[in-house]
Structure 1
Amino acid sequence: MKKLLFLTGDFAEDYETMVPFQMLVMLGYTVHTVCPGKKKGEKIKTAIHDFEGDQTYTEKPGHLFELNYSFDDVKPEDYDGLVMAGGRAPEYLRLNKKVIEITKHFFEKDKPVAAICHAIQILTVADVLKGRTLTAYPTIGPEIELVGGKYKEVEPTEAVVDGNLVTSPAWPGHSAFIAEFVKLLGAKIEI
């Protein structure tokens, strides 16, 4: 079975960490969850983002999520795909040079990449979006355009696929997001 790298971190969005991880494990994939500066068995704190009619999402404490692999042991060539959680974690994860190197590896080797919500901020710093069409949480749209990508506004329940990249605006899109990602990995999924 294929092995996947799942990048998350403190204050990543709770659902965007927990749900895709559980879905991919349920489908039989080996999924290594990692965070820079943390080792296997350590935990991250997540945040729950909700849409309650305000101009942006609200944020509440989420769960503790136990990492099952050490970031320092990651060798990107060992993985068939990359998943990136959104939330607040990407705003600091994109400052980590190894995170950027790992991200670039998956694009250079044309391996499937799934990025949701604010995870696209990592892709903007990795400079892998030129000429790509993708979606994200709407506030990331200008960043996508600034690095030469094309931001596509879609419903929060939808996903956008461009080559090896699948994106979705937020956690309501998990069904489409994960279905499209596993299709890129070679699974047969009926939607």
Structure 2
Amino acid sequence: MAAKRILMLVGDYVEDYEVMVPFQILVMVGHQVDAVCPGKRVGETVRTAVHDFDGAQTYSEKPGHNFTVNADFNAVDETAYDGLVIPGGRAPEYLRLNARLLAMVRHFAQARKPIASICHGQQILVAAGVLKGRVCTAYPAVQPEIEAAGGTWHEVGAQLANACADGNLVTAPAWTAHPAWMREFLALLGSRIEP
């Protein structure tokens, strides 16, 4: 397997597990992951939040860890990357306001490069205008946005443990779906994990 270059879009209050775990999985199998954040430089950190499913009508939020940005957003040449990861949390609601970030996302969609987006990360896909005619899932509260953007909602069940693959796009509802989500994304990248 040839190592791939992966771009990861992060921001303050990104969901802790949805940034930490995919980053570590992708690095573990040999890929280079560049985590970038508008307005942050290499070595600076973003705050994370842990979203937990503890019986309330929606997730609860607790402080997470700091996550270090390891690449410069302003220097990104998206054409040099093989795949894109968009974690969820609260970061997507304001990251989607960044025109340069949305242009990066459009590049991956138009070039049919692998995209893995989870939870509220799909808000960025909606804002980039890349979901029309696509099938995907997300955290259930994002369903109206996906459908309004012309996407088709894929139901994954109450446990939120499954992923949805549609061509180059792999989506999942929450960190509980990491095994399925990362397995599908790694397959798109050509990575092989032997049992």
TM-based fold match above 0.5:
yes
Report what 2:80 is aligned to: 78
Tell me what 2:180 maps to: 176
TM-score (norm 2): 0.96
- 1:20 is aligned to 22
The CA distance in 2 between the partners of 1:153 and 1:62, in whole Å, is: 28
Distance between the aligned counterparts of 1:145 and 1:46, measured in 2?
28
Cα separation, 2, equivalents of 1:98 and 1:41: 21
Instruction: Output one character per residue of 1:99-156: Cα deviation in whole Å (capped at 9) or x when no partner.
Output: 1000000011000000000000000011101111100000000100001000111031
What SS class does the counterpart of residue 10 from structure 1 fall into?
Answer: coil
* Unaligned ranges ≥5, structure 2: none
Note the C-alpha offset of 1:190: 6.0
The aligned amino acid for 2:4 is K
Matches within 5 A, 1:36-55: 36-55=38-57
Q: How many Å apart are 1:189 and its aligned residue?
A: 4.2
Q: Distance in 2 between matches of 1:181 and 1:159?
A: 10
- CA shift digits 1:21-55 (9 cap, x unpaired): 00000010000011111111000000000011101
Q: Which SS does the other structure have where 2:141 is aligned?
A: helix
Q: TM-score, normalised by structure 1?
A: 0.98
- Residue number among 92, 95, 98 corresponding to 1:93 in the alignment: 95
Question: Superposition RMSD on alpha carbons, in Å?
Answer: 1.0
- Matched residues in 1 for 2:85 and 2:45: separation? 18
